[in-house]
Structure 1
Amino acid sequence: MSHISRRRFLRDTLVGSAAISAAPYIAKAQAPNDKLGVAVVGCRGRGASHLSAFASDPRTVVLYIVDVDEKVGAKRCEMTAKKQGFKPKFVRDMREAFRDPAVDLVSTA
């Protein structure tokens, strides 16, 4: 029978407890193949280039386009849908996009 010191027993117990308590956080980590959800606020000028870049990037998917001008927003939604194959949702209030847990990053132009 091997002899285990108190220090080693405590250390091993603490390491095991830490691993068990961290498991839910590790399980929720994003997989490397998952795409990042993007919300773009402001879609004229510089915002249009942000949309184009995110829609062309295979690591991201534009989920929301936020702008006060509905005509411009609708036009940018169509443009983005053609590029990425998924039509983003147009909203006028950025808080709606911020509430969505699928949004991982926000671009403001």
Structure 2
Amino acid sequence: MNQSVNRRDFLKTSSQAAGGLAAAAMLSHSRKILAANDTVGVAIVGTRGRGKEHMLGFHRQPGVKIL
């Protein structure tokens, strides 16, 4: 199968994958009770589709502040 991938699609897909991996790693280690100083600030670029889902997912997690 020979498919052409343009740079925009490659960057979009790879950044989504990296964000998903980072979120999974962060959320898997956030099961302890967090102090006020342990709040994690998260900035999400692009709030359509998957970005909106990331924003909703982070919003449900304790100790996460969406910037």
TM-score range, shorter chain: 0.3 to 0.5
TM-score, normalised by the number of residues in structure 1: 0.28
Which structure is higher in strand share? 1
TM-score, normalised to structure 2's length?
0.44
